[in-house]
Amino acid sequence: MVVFCIGVVAGHCGGAQTNDLKNSFHIADTNQDGKITPDEFKQHVKQEAFSNVDINGDKKIDRKEWKKAVPTPQPEGNFDALDKDGNSAVDVLEFSKKADRNYNYDEVFNALDRNRDGSLAPDEFNARPSFTIFSIKF
């Protein structure tokens, strides 16, 4: 099993600085209405996890990046399972499809939505324990 933690510290799980959290909220709030909807949350989680592995920022994950991100003895098997088109690169769509099968966005979103209004305010989003809640298992 491979776990990618996301949040504001690229490349590893851990705590974050306040400015990073504010920036992360603004990035997730794609329509800039001051709240994060379930759809915005879902897209943010996937994009952040993908970006943490796409070290060179070329919008694809190659084997070298995958090996660096995946602390397992045989990372190639996981990579090959993700690379559905066999082009030796995992794109956002391939990564997202796997994430959608292995991550319960609604459960996590509802846990963060303390006031149960169906959206995340900055204080709800920024109070998250990123090292445990934002992880996608592959």
User: Which residue range(s) make up the domain with 28?
Assistant: 3-9+17-137
- Is the predicted pLDDT of residue 6 greater than 90, yes or no? no
* Interatomic CA distance for residues 76 and 91, integer angstroms: 16
Domain total of the chain: 1
- State residue 108's pLDDT score: 86
The residue with greater pLDDT, 74 or 100, is 100
| Mean pLDDT computed over 91-99 | 90
Other Cβ atoms within 10 Å of 100 Cβ, number: 12
